[in-house]
Amino acid sequence: MSEFDATAAVNIEPTAPVPFSLLPDSSEVDENGELTIGGCNIAEIAAEYGTPVFVYDEQHLRSRCREAVASFGSEVAYAGKAFLCIAMAKLVNEEGMCLDVASAGELYTAIRAGVPGNRIVFHGNNKSVRELQMAREYGVGRIVVDSADEIDRLENLHSEDGQVVSVLLRVTPGIRAETHEFISTGQEDSKFGFGIKSGAASAAVDRAKASNAINLLGIHSHIGSQVFRIESFDKALVVVSDFFKALDLPELSIGGGLGVAYVEDDIAASISEWGAQTKDTCARLGITDVRILAEPGRAIAAQAAITVYTIGTFKSLPGIRNYAAVDGGFVDNIRPVLYGSEYTSFAPQRVLEPRPDRARIVGSHCESGDIIIREASLPQGLNVGDLIATPVTGAYGHGMGSNYNRMGRPPVVFVSNGEARLVVRGEMLEDLLRLDID
Ligand SMILES: Cc1ncc(COP(=O)(O)O)c(C=O)c1O
């Protein structure tokens, strides 16, 4: 018997249907009470492409890109680490954003998508000579230099071919953003960037200004990711502005990091609010006649997607909890394990129903920690074979995915105007063997 046993759960209280504020913009409910996104029925997408599957609302992505351009101007960059594939790189480029890449692989994706070099920003705290060469050959518009060793590498490469690159220097303002330790990057004790307090940032500026290999465009700081309190960005700007204003440089990047709502209680600012506040703060601090750049990733992609799973088995432990195991896990969403991140869940075919049942939603990997949602609310009496979905999985889901247990990463489907298109196919068994040599 695999039916859900609600009596196994403790502290049951009725819970409202999933709020539409957490679903992609074009989400609607059809006449059968089933979720559609971009005019496509989610259950039909699951039937066609299998589960798990990432479903992205293409118009949602496009509208967030436009909002970013309207808020920060045409040099604003999408942080590809949040979610990148060729289709995404093309979309970002079509919508007038630059693309921030942080590895040879991300750069290669941008190149294959035809993103012009001058629209690419290249990040990384330990870029190899090969990566820097690749960026120089493709004419990358901005290299965000993170260390003195990177300046050495750029100078060595310049001594071979005389090519000059445009650079931002990444500084750490000494501000700890209120977010998870692993994604807080602006504090002094960080592997990223040149510290302002220590004098390392000043020394790097002097060196870059004097270098024939470098055209120093500006300063970059990124305080962390999933930052809810936009005052944190202001605090960083206060520190960076004193340093920056003395340098007489044309660009200042505040990085990315704007937080998004994942669950019912989260409150997050919009990209427009973030942009308006940044402009006001810069004006107040006397940062004028300067291009203010930003690099949102999560705020563009996170709420654009849901992940759809099939329930494979239930386990009911009376007085303890219910488990609902789905056909994904670490492979598509490592964030709950890595950061204790919270998600909510719903049944795409019963989207307007209250969710009184409780279960721990777990994946199919061989680890007890393979938990997607610790305490999920679900519609009453779901069965094995039913679909459940987690919203707000468009950022750091597919991109952070793995092949643990030799499971294939799920496909990615973009939906728009009643049409679905596969933009990343799911990995099949043969894909998992493609690097093996027997
Ligand atoms: C340098 C830099 N820019 C931008 C981002 C994007 O952050 P988010 O996706 O939170 O906007 C990151 C994320 O780690 C980053 O390290």
pLDDT in tens, 99-119: 999 999 999 999 999 999 999
Q: Are 211 and 151 in contact (CB under 8 A)?
A: yes
- Residue ranges, comma separated, of all CATH 2.40.37.10 domains in the chain are 6-56+303-432
Please tell me the distance between residue 210's alpha carbon and the centre of ligand 1 in angstroms.
29
Give 230's pLDDT tier (boundaries 50, 70, 90): confident
Q: CA dist 348 to 36, 131, 323, 339, Å?
A: 8, 43, 19, 26
Q: What does the alpha-carbon distance between residue 72 and residue 276 come to, in Å, rounded to a whole number?
A: 9
Does the annotation count 98 as an active-site position? no
Comparing C-alpha atoms, which of 282, 232, 289, 288 is closest to residue 257? Answer: 232
Residue 127 is which amino acid?
K
User: Domain 58-301 carries which CATH code?
Assistant: 3.20.20.10
**CA-closest residue to ligand 1 atom 14:** 225
Please tell me the distance between residue 405's alpha carbon and the centre of ligand 1 in angstroms.
29
Pocket of ligand 1 from Cβ distances under 6 Å: 79, 81-82, 100, 123, 222, 225-226, 255-258, 295-299, 395
Q: Evaluate if residue 1 carries a pLDDT over 50.
A: no
The pTM for the full model equals 0.94
Atom of ligand 1 nearest to the CA of 170: 1
- Residue ranges, comma separated, of all CATH 3.20.20.10 domains in the chain are 58-301
- Tell me the fold of 6-56+303-432: Lyase, Ornithine Decarboxylase; Chain A, domain 1 (2.40.37)
- Output the pLDDT for position 368: 87
Ligand 1 pocket mutation, candidates 78, 81, 171, 258, criterion most atoms within 8 A of CB: 81
Q: Evaluate if residue 8 carries a pLDDT over 70.
A: no
- Give 385 or 236, the one with higher predicted confidence: 385
Atom of ligand 1 nearest to the CA of 257: 10
Please tell me the distance between residue 78's alpha carbon and the centre of ligand 1 in angstroms.
9
- Output the pLDDT for position 173: 86
Q: Are 114 and 92 in contact (CB under 8 A)?
A: no
- Give 182 or 262, the one with higher predicted confidence: 262
Give 390's pLDDT tier (boundaries 50, 70, 90): very high
Percent of the chain with pLDDT over 70: 94
Please tell me the distance between residue 49's alpha carbon and the centre of ligand 1 in angstroms.
30
- Output the pLDDT for position 12: 44
pLDDT in tens, 57-89: 999 999 999 999 999 999 999 999 999 999 999
